[in-house]
C-alpha cells in the first residue's frame, strides 16, 4: 500500500438520489495496464430486490464482494425479512474493515430503497463510508463526473432527470478519461417497485 497508484482505478461509476428513486450507472471498459481487457465489463450489480451496487477496482475482489453480499442478504431475508439499506451498508463496511491489512482493492457505491426512501453510500477499500451527499462517483473518471454533477444536480429531481444526468456524466468522463469507456453505459433505477436495469435502447435515448 506504499504506492498511491495502487488504489487508482480505471472506471467511472455514478450514484444519484432522485425524489423517489436512486440511480446508479457505470461505463463498461476493463483494462489490464495499458491493454483493454473488455469493452463489456459488468460494474453495476443487483444485490437484492431493492439494492444495487457499483464497483471500481480489481475485478476479482469486486466479484467476491458481490457474491458475499448476495448470499448474506438472502440469509438475512430468510431470518428477518428484507435488509434495510443502512444495515446493508454496515455489513459491507464491516467486511471491508475486517480485511484492512489485506484490503479489497475497490471503491463501491451502494444504493437502495426501503421504508425510509432512497439512500446511497460510497465506500473506500478500508470500509470507511459516506452518505451525506445526494450523489457520488468513483473511479478514475470521477473528477469529470463531479464537475458535471455539481453544476447540474438539483434537489428533488425526478428519476428520469437523474438518469439523464447520470448518462451525461458518464459520457463526459468517457470523453476525457483514458481509463473509462466501453461499448455500453449500464444504468439501473431503484425505487418503491424495486431494482430495474435499463435496456441499451432506453439508455441511448438519453445520449
> What are the structural domains, with CATH classification, of the chain?
4-202 (3.60.20.10)
Please indicate whether residue 84 is annotated as part of the active site. no
Alpha carbon distance 18, 119 (integer Å): 10
pLDDT at 57 over 50: yes
pLDDT at 3 over 60: no
Under the banding of pLDDT at 50, 70 and 90, the label for residue 33 is confident
The single residue of 9, 11, 13, 122 carrying the catalytic annotation is 11
| Average pLDDT score over residue span 147-162 | 96
Q: With a threshold of 0.85, does the pTM exceed it?
A: yes
Under the banding of pLDDT at 50, 70 and 90, the label for residue 5 is very low
Alpha carbon distance 143, 8 (integer Å): 13
The predicted pLDDT at position 9 comes to 55
- Which of 31-35, 132-136, 189-193 has the least mean pLDDT? 31-35
Contacts 24+ apart (CB under 8 A), 71-77: 73/47, 73/48, 74/48, 77/48
Amino acid at each position: 500500500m506504499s504506492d498511491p497508484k495502487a488504489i487508482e482505478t480505471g472506471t467511472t461509476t455514478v450514484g444519484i438520489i432522485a425524489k423517489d428513486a436512486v440511480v446508479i450507472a457505470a461505463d463498461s471498459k476493463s483494462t489490464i495496464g495499458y491493454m483493454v481487457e473488455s469493452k463489456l465489463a459488468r460494474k453495476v450489480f443487483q444485490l437484492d430486490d431493492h439494492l444495487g451496487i457499483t464497483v471500481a477496482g480489481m475485478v476479482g475482489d469486486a466479484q467476491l464482494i458481490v457474491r458475499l453480499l448476495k448470499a448474506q442478504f438472502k440469509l438475512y431475508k430468510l431470518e428477518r425479512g428484507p435488509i434495510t439499506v443502512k444495515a446493508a451498508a454496515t455489513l459491507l463496511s464491516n467486511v471491508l474493515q475486517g480485511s484492512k491489512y489485506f484490503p479489497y482493492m475497490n471503491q463501491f457505491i451502494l444504493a437502495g430503497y426501503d421504508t425510509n426512501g432512497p439512500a446511497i453510500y460510497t465506500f473506500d477499500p478500508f470500509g470507511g463510508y459516506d452518505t451525506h451527499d445526494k450523489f457520488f462517483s468513483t473511479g478514475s473518471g470521477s473528477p469529470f463526473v463531479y464537475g458535471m454533477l455539481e453544476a447540474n444536480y438539483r434537489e428533488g429531481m425526478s428519476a428520469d432527470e437523474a438518469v439523464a444526468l447520470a448518462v451525461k456524466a458518464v459520457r463526459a468522463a468517457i470523453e476525457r478519461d483514458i481509463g473509462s469507456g466501453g461499448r455500453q453505459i449500464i444504468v439501473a433505477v431503484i425505487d418503491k417497485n424495486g431494482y430495474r436495469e435499463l435496456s441499451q435502447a432506453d439508455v441511448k435515448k438519453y445520449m
